Chains A and B, each alone.
Chain A
Amino acid sequence: MIEKNSYILKGGRVVDPARGIDTVMDIGVSNGRIVDPGKIKNPEVIKVKKLVVAPGFTDMHVHLRQPGNTTAETIATGTMAAAAGGFTGIVAMPNTSPPADSAGTIEYIRRHTELYGVVRVYPSGCMTKELKGEEMAGIGGLKSAGVVAVSDDGKCIQNHELMRHVVEYSKSFGLPILDHCEDAFLKGEGVMHEGKWSTLLGMRGISSASEELMIARDIILSRMIGWKIHIQHVSAGESVELIRNARKRGIMISAEATPHHISLTDDSIKKFDTNYKMNPPLRSEQDRLAVIEGLRDGTITVIATDHAPHTATDKLVEFDYAPFGIVGLETAIPVCLTELYHEKILSLSDFVSKFTVGPAEVLGMDFGTLAEGKPADITIIDTEKKFCVDASKFRSKSRNTPFHGMEFRGKAAATIVAGRFVFDEIGQ
């Protein structure tokens, strides 16, 4: 790692949507904070000409697998992957083993992050004890231990009354809800999107209705209670429409999309490659386009990866038996730059916003800007660099990506956390 106390990032295109800035200018860093570059004496100059200098990206949806499944990922490898992917912060999902449903587990995560973490880790806590969807977890205690949100990700509380109480209670502690929306009966034993391809392949489908139904439930509860519910990994076109209407009415609903749902569709399943198996599943082309439109028109304010590491052993099985999920931290920027920025769906400023302002608003935190005095969390991007995904080079402990061998345009050039370079490919 390069240790630099004071330096200037010189000649980059600074894109800071929180302040409406998109211009070539210098950024000063001193003692881990953003400063006026003119006030640094004898600074080291780091040339970032032709690169984009953005506030540090935050991935709101990451499975670090520790504690529990450290053969798939650890806090050390997961945060290294985040750094290599251009993320300065990540929200850790609580479905570890044991689940993060108590202050003790949050303490464990925080201690390990201090010792081994490369980027900032914001833990989230469970909504229900052991993620069982039966009894409310100690949400107040989780808040005191430092969680930034609550979620039963991977599962969805099916009991609407319990969900209502969780939302009401979380509101009183100021904790946003991150919900994996899925009706368990409609999902059934499904392994892929229910549609043309599940019909042709004879595989059990997961109907879009399973997602839409619970999003509708969440919209109703959010309106009734007046509290923030963030819809994780939106996959279906009709879901986007539900969220769009709710936001128009001022209901406190927000949503995220993943890089894979905007770039891949269910016809990929015909390869029977389990690296295309995730939940929610890859849906139809129509759904993919609707999610992209949601990002374009501002219905969806966040891009998050749902980084879900699984070992090769776990994935190298019959499609039905493979676990859901793919890794995403090291491919998110290349995939999204290619699909959204280079395809002229989003301006660079809007693109950056989905990883900075978007997550900050949902979580009610003040990261995501390069204003003077803020911690120097910076993501530097080369929007033009050709990047061919080679899973064998991932920092993540797992390799379960459908993007292996694919070529994209653009990637992170450097990642800076509190002034410190945790990833640096500038000039390479």
Chain B
Amino acid sequence: MEVNWTRKDLLSLYDLTPEEIVLILDTAEEFKKVSERNLKKVPALRGKTVVNFFVEPSTRTRVSFELAEQRLSADIINMTASSSSLQKGETLLDTVRNIEALQADLIVMRHSCAGAQNFIAKNISSGVINAGDGAHGHPTQALLDLFTIRQKKGRIAGLNVSIVGDILHSRVARSDIWGLIKLGANVTLAGPSTLVPRDFEQIGVRVCHNLKDAMVGADVINLLRIQHERQRAGFFPSTNEYARFFGLNMENAKYLNPDALIMHPGPINRDVELDSALADGPQSVILEQVTNGLAVRMAVLFLVAGCLKK
């Protein structure tokens, strides 16, 4: 079936049809080949201006987007909250409207507030790509996760995928959940009861509060980074206790299928949520996720740019 991309924005996987998600993954396959060539650059976005507007600081996502834009031959401007007029009390919308007035074609944006990109996309004509909004979504991370799973397992539908950790505060988990559900995977969420809301069961996701249940039968296990500030906020008693009950280690790894993939969106707290040896072991696909992120972001930039009014 021929699927056309018709969106000027990529805000959330919740908005996309399964066909649109597959279209992005298929397009990324093509761009992955570009990155494997000697000459890694294509002229797909030549003459287009992309502004990377990171209101919330980011390293890996920003670098990945920047490289993807360079490989597509776009002109790039990088802005952060501290280098913008937000510092002077300008509203977010005014700041973005000024970027738009400079005829930026695409704005890649990260923000600490859920829905900030939805709010901006509604109010401007430039394309908006969500590079992470609060705990709401991180669609390109989920797409690279889906891409990696599909590459390794040959399919998504019917796989058992477990996501472990601080689901409550995780934009990665939310985007993964929508992407996986839409492509037919069985999703299990696991972690401390304070960080894994039961409300997710209402959309057909399994919720459990011990790691073993999430490991047995899993084709993929995705460990999320646990942040120390959650401990201070009273969600769990200590990092040690977290690691003991919810960390993947050499001892409990026996419950995992030998061919199960170990994933992590990074940055890893080694030996907290994930044992160092496992992170570097044969089941880990963590660095391949990073590599695939580039291809996925090239695909998203390419598709969205193709839908902009000239």
Pair from one complex: yes
Main secondary structure of the interface of A (DSSP, over half): helix
Of A196, A272, A313, A321, the residue contacting B199 (CB under 8 A) is A196
Decide: B202 and A196 in contact? CB cutoff 8 A: yes
Decide: B119 and A318 in contact? CB cutoff 8 A: yes
Decide: B118 and A195 in contact? CB cutoff 8 A: no
Residues of B within 8 A of A21 (CB): none
Of A202, A271, A313, the residue contacting B171 (CB under 8 A) is A202
Decide: A195 and B199 in contact? CB cutoff 8 A: yes
Kindly state whether residue B74 has any CB partner on chain A within 8 Å.
Answer: no
CB distance from A290 to the nearest CB of B (A): 19
CB distance from A208 to the nearest CB of B (A): 13
- CB contact under 8 A between A320 and B134, given known A195-B199, A200-B203: yes
Decide: B199 and A320 in contact? CB cutoff 8 A: no
Decide: A202 and B119 in contact? CB cutoff 8 A: no
A321 to B93, CA, bound (A): 13
| B residues contacting the other copy or chain, number (CB 8 A) | 26
Contact with A along B110-149 (1 / 0, CB 8 A): 0111111011000000000000001111000000000000
- CB contact under 8 A between A316 and B118, given known A195-B199, A199-B200, A203-B135: no
Interface size class of A (residues with CB under 8 A): 10 to 19
A318 to B137, CA, bound (A): 15
Residues of B within 8 A of A317 (CB): 91-93, 119
Q: Which of A358-374 contact B (CB under 8 A)?
A: none
Residues of A within 8 A of B14 (CB): 200
Residues of B within 8 A of A195 (CB): 199
- CB contact under 8 A between A272 and B91, given known A202-B135, A203-B135: no
Kindly state whether residue A388 has any CB partner on chain B within 8 Å.
Answer: no
A196 to B205, CA, bound (A): 13
Most buried by A among B112, B114, B169, B174: B114
Q: Give 19 A-B contacts (CB < 8 Å), ordered by A residue.
A: A199-B168, A199-B199, A199-B200, A200-B200, A200-B203, A202-B135, A202-B170, A202-B174, A203-B134, A271-B118, A272-B119, A316-B91, A316-B93, A317-B91, A317-B93, A318-B113, A318-B116, A319-B114, A321-B113
Beyond contacts A202-B114, A202-B170, A272-B119: 19 other A-B pairs, Cβ-Cβ < 8 A, are A195-B199, A200-B14, A200-B200, A200-B203, A202-B135, A202-B137, A202-B169, A202-B171, A203-B134, A271-B118, A317-B92, A317-B93, A317-B119, A318-B111, A320-B112, A320-B113, A320-B114, A320-B134, A321-B113
